[in-house]
Structure 1
Amino acid sequence: MDQRNKSRVTEFILGFQNEKDIEILLYSAFLLMYMTFLIGSTMIVLLVCGDYHLHSPMYFFIANLSFLEVAIMSTVLPKMLANMFSLTRAISFAGCLTQSFFYFLLGSTEFFILAVMSFDRYVTICNPLRYAMIINKQTCILLLLGSYVGAFLSILASSILTAPLPFCGPNVINHLFCDSAPVLKLVCADISLAELADFISSVLLLLGSLLLTGVSYTYIVITILRIPSAQGRQKAFSTCVSHITVVTLYYGSSISIYVRPKKVHVVGVNKFATVLNTIVTPMLNPFIYSLQNEKVKVSLRGSISKYAGMIKN
C-alpha cells in the first residue's frame, strides 16, 4: 500500500501497559520525588547565586548541573503526572517529538558538563598554581556554551533521521514518556538507520565523555598518591567524592540503557532503568552535593539562620 494512503498518527498514548498497579504506585511516589527534587535543586542554585563564598567555577558548574536536572525532569514529569488524571493519557505527535528532543538535548548536555567538572577537578589538584589563569570566568562560559553545542551536535543526526519517519499506528507507547526506543517501535517503515544513528550517538556521547572523565581522574589519582601526608591525600580526594558519586550513578544507568546492541535490550529492564536515570538519580544529586560538601553545608546553615532571624524579628 502506498505510504501516503495510510492514516497518520496525530497523538500517542503514554503509560506502562499491563502494569497498572505498578504504574499507580510510581505515580504516587513521583509527585513527592518531584517536589523534593525541585526544592533541593532550587536551594543549590540560590545558594550558589547568593553566597559569594560559592562564587567559584566548581559551584558555577554545580549550579548549572542542578538547573539542567530541573529542566530534564520538568520535560518529563509534569506530563507524566497530568496523565494520572487523564482517561486518554494522550500526548500530541509534535509534543512527543519535542519532549524527546529536549530530553536528549538536556541529558546530553549534562554529560558534557560532568566531563567539564572532572577537568575542573583535574586543574584544581594537578595544577593548583595555574588554576585561576586556566579556569577563569571566560573559560567557564565557553565550556558551558560548548557543552550545549556539543550536545546539540551529538543528537542532530538521530533527530534528523527520526523526524520524517511515518507513524501509521498503533500509537500506544509502552513507556512513561517519549523515549527514543519505544517511539521508534511504532514507525511503519525501516528504522535500522535511525536505530544505528541512535546507538552510535549514544556510544560517542557516553563513552567519549566518560573517557575524558576517566583520563582526568587518572591524573588526579596519580597526583594524590604523590602527596606525602595522609591528611593531604584525604583532603584532595574529598573534593572529588561528590562528583565521582554523581558520575557513577549517571553513567552506570545510562550506559546500561543506551549503549547496548538492539538484540540484548530487555524492554522491562529498560523502562525501569530509564525511570531510575530520569527521576531517582537526579533527585539524589542535591543531597549528594549538600551532604558531602562542607562549604554548601556552611552556606545552607548560614542562610537558614539568617531567614530564621528575619522571621523572629
Structure 2
Amino acid sequence: MARLFGEGGVETRLLRRWRDAAAASPPAFFLMVEENFAGYAAAALWRAVMGRRTVGLLFRGREALEGKSPRLRLKRWGLRLLRRVPGVTTLSIVPFRVEPGLAEIADDWIDDPQLWDLEDLSPEPTPLSEAVRGAAAGRRLVVSLGIQNEAKGFCFLAGAWSQSPSLRADWLFVAAGKVASEELPVAAEFVANGGYLVDRFISDAELASLYKAADVIWGVYAPFYDQASGIFGRAVQYDVPILLRRGSAVETHGLELGARLATVEYGVTGDLAGALEAAAAAEVSRGNRAPEMRARSEAILRAALMGCS
C-alpha cells in the first residue's frame, strides 16, 4: 500500500500500534481492522473527536454479520456504530454485490488489493519452482501457498494426499509455507507419502514462480475461515485455476469475476480428483479486470482518506 500511495505522490509512514495512530494528525489507514478491532474502534472514535479522518479495511465481514459469540456480536455492534461517525470509513474488501449484508456494517467496499496490485504478470522461474517441476516428473501440480494450518485446509490437503494412491499417480501436491506447530504430525505423514513440503518462509519471487508453475492453486479453506483471500486474488491476476470450498464467499466472488475455478465440499476426499480435473480444465478468464478494479478502489481510498476523488 505504501508503494501504491507513493505512486500517487502521497507520503506514508508506517505505525505499529493503534495508540500511535490515535495520536497522529494525518489521515490514518488501518490495513486490517481485525488485527485489533478494539484498537481500531478506539482510535477511530478519538480521531473523530479531533476532526481527523480514519479508514479501515474489513476482511471478515461475513463472520461479523453471522457470528453468534459475544465477541462477534460486539464487533457487529461496533461496526454499525462507526458507520454513524463522521470522518470514519470502514471499507469491506468483499463487494456488497457479493455479500449485500455487508452494507449494514461497512460504509463502502473496494476490491481486495491482491486482485489488482501486481505489475509483472510473467515472473521468472526460481530454483524452487524448477525443483518442484522436476519432482512432479510429468504429473500436474497442486500448490498450497502461505502458512500451512487448519484454517488454510492443510489437514484436508495432506489427508487426501496420504489416503489416495490414484491422486498421487496423477498429481503432485506441494505445500509451500511455514507449517503451524500443531500440524507437524500431519506434515510428517504428508512427506512420508511423497508430498512436497517447503516448511519455511517463501519469498515474493518464489511465490510468483510457484503460481506460474502450478496447474491448480489450493484455496479449499476451512468453513470457519470464510473471508477474502490474497491467494485467490493472486491466482485471478496470474489467471491460474484455483480450487475453492463450495459455498464460500470466495466462490461467490470468483464466479462473479469469471475466474478460473472449481469447488469441492470441504473434507470430502472422494470428490477431490474430479474437482481438480474440473479446475485444471477451466477456461481462460474473460479478461484482465485489474485496471478497472484498481481505478475504482484507488478513487474510493482517496476520497475516504483525503476527501478528494
TM-score calculated relative to the size of structure 1: 0.28
Q: Which has the larger radius of gyration?
A: 1
Structure in which a larger fraction of residues adopt helix: 1
TM-score by length of 2: 0.28
Structure with greater strand percent: 2
